[in-house]
C-alpha cells in the first residue's frame, strides 16, 4: 500500500527467496519516501507544447517547434510511455529513407530526449529510452567544412565591402561573436574607454560575457559610430527602414561583397570559425577560446578551430631547418654510414 493505494507489481522471478528480497527492498523504499507511483503519462503533443512554453530564446523555440512537427508526423499523438527504443530507431530509419540529413535527425532526437527526460523527472515515465541506448548518429561526415578567411582574402573583402559589412567582418574575425549577438548590440553595451563590450543576449547562459576589443576592431567601431551613432539609433546595427529595431537579414549585402572580392560564398557565421582558428594558431588555450566564444565547455572548440595552412607551412619549414642544421653539424653522414653497416651482405649485393 502506497499513499492509501494498493499496488500490484511482479517481482519477475519464480524464486521465492529472491521475490521476498525484492519485496522487502520496495517496502524499504516506501518507508524512506523514495518510492513514488508513476502518474498517467500525457500525450506527445500536449507535453511538447507545454515544454515549448519554457523555451525563451526565439531561435531555439523556432527550432524545437520544427522538431515537434517532425516528431508528431511519425509518432502521432502517442502517450509518452509508448515511445520505446524500437520506435525511436524506426523514426530514424524512416527519416533517413526520406533523405533527411543526419544533423536534422539529431536535432529532432535532442528535442525528444529533453521532453522525455522532463517527463521522467516529473514521474510520468519510469525511465527515458535515451538512458538505455545510443540514438544520435555521427554527423561530422556530412557537416560542411567551414571556410576560414585568410588574411589576404580579408584584405580584399574589406577593400570592397560597404561600411556595415566591413565592420561586421572585422567584429567577426576579431571577437568571434555570433552573428545574432553582433546584430543585437546596443551602443550602451560598448565601453570604448576600457576597450570592452558586453554581450547581454545570447543563445545560452555561457554566451552572456564580456568581450575584449582589439585596437583594429575598436577603430572600425568608432568609424561606424561616426556614421550611425547613438543619436540615430540605440542599436549598433539598426534596421534602416525602422531605426527602433535591430538589423534583420543582410545576407544579400554579404553575398554581394564576397562576389566583388572574388571570394566564393560562405555564411558570415564562418567568421566565428576564423576567429577560433587564428586564436588556436596563436597558441591560446582551448579554455580561453571557449570562454571568448561563449561556450560552456571546451568540447566544441575543435569544431570551430581549423588549423591554418600557414601553420602547416611553418611546421614544414621548421622540419627543413632541423634537417639542414643536422647536416651542417655532421649528424646526417653518420646516420647514412650506420645505415650502410646495417645492410646484410646479401642485400648489399642486390643493391649493387
Q: What is the pLDDT of residues 246-278, one digit of tens each?
A: 677 788 999 999 999 999 999 999 999 999 888
Q: Is 214 exposed, middle or buried (0-12, 13-18, 19+ CB in 10 A)?
A: middle
C-alpha span between 317 and 96 (Å, rounded): 46
Give, for 191, the enclosing helix (H) or strand (E): strand 190-191
Question: Exposed, middle or buried: residue 139 (CB in 10 Å: 0-12, 13-18, 19+)?
Answer: middle
pLDDT given for residue 308 in this prediction: 52
Whether 36 contacts 123, CB under 8 Å: yes
pLDDT beyond 70 at 124: yes
Give the confidence band of 43 by pLDDT, cuts at 50, 70, 90.
Answer: very high
User: For residue 69, what is its C-alpha cell?
Assistant: 512537427
305, 270, 313: which is closest to 285 by C-alpha?
305
All cell numbers assigned to 309: 595552412
Question: Which residues fall within 8 angstroms of residue 145, CB to CB, at 6 or more apart?
Answer: 306
Nearest to 298 by CA among 289, 307, 311, 310: 289
The secondary structure element, H or E, covering residue 141 is none
pLDDT 10s digits, 287-341: 888 888 888 777 767 766 665 555 555 665 666 677 677 667 654 444 434 444 4
Four-CA torsion 249, 251, 253, 255, nearest 10 degrees:
180
Q: Compute the chain's Rg from CA coordinates.
A: 30
Amino acid at each position: 500500500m502506497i499513499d492509501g493505494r494498493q499496488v500490484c507489481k511482479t517481482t519477475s522471478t519464480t524464486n521465492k527467496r529472491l521475490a521476498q528480497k525484492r519485496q522487502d527492498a520496495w517496502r524499504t523504499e516506501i518507508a524512506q519516501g523514495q518510492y513514488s507511483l508513476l502518474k498517467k503519462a500525457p500525450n506527445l503533443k500536449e507535453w511538447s507544447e507545454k515544454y515549448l512554453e519554457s523555451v525563451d530564446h526565439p531561435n531555439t523555440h523556432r527550432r524545437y517547434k520544427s522538431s515537434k512537427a517532425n516528431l508528431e508526423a511519425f509518432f502521432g499523438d502517442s502517450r509518452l510511455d509508448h515511445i520505446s527504443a524500437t520506435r525511436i530507431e524506426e523514426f530514424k530509419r524512416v527519416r533517413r529513407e526520406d533523405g533527411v540529413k543526419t544533423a536534422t535527425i539529431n536535432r529532432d532526437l535532442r528535442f525528444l530526449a529533453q521532453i522525455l527526460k522532463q517527463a521522467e523527472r516529473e514521474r510520468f515515465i519510469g525511465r527515458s529510452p535515451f538512458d538505455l541506448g545510443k540514438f544520435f548518429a555521427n554527423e561530422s561526415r556530412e557537416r560542411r567544412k567551414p571556410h576560414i578567411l585568410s588574411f589576404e582574402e580579408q584584405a580584399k573583402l574589406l577593400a570592397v565591402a560597404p561600411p556595415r559589412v566591413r565592420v561586421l567582418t572585422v567584429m567577426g574575425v576579431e571577437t568571434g561573436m555570433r552573428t545574432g549577438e553582433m546584430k543585437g548590440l546596443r551602443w550602451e553595451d560598448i565601453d570604448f574607454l576600457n576597450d570592452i563590450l558586453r554581450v547581454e543576449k545570447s543563445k545560452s547562459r555561457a554566451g552572456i560575457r564580456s568581450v575584449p576589443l582589439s585596437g583594429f576592431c575598436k577603430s572600425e567601431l568608432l568609424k561606424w559610430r561616426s556614421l550611425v551613432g547613438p543619436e540615430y539609433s540605440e542599436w549598433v546595427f539598426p534596421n534602416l527602414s525602422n531605426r527602433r529595431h535591430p538589423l534583420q537579414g543582410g545576407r544579400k549585402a554579404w553575398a554581394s561583397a564576397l562576389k566583388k572580392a572574388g571570394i566564393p560564398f560562405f555564411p558570415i557565421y564562418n567568421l566565428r570559425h576564423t576567429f577560433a582558428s587564428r586564436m588556436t594558431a596563436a597558441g591560446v588555450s582551448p579554455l580561453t577560446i571557449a570562454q571568448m566564444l561563449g561556450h560552456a565547455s571546451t568540447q566544441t572548440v575543435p569544431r570551430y578551430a581549423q588549423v591554418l595552412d600557414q601553420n602547416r607551412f611553418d611546421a614544414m619549414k621548421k622540419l627543413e631547418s632541423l634537417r639542414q642544421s643536422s647536416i651542417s653539424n655532421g649528424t646526417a653522414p653518420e646516420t647514412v654510414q650506420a645505415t650502410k653497416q646495417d645492410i646484410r651482405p646479401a642485400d648489399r649485393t642486390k643493391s649493387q
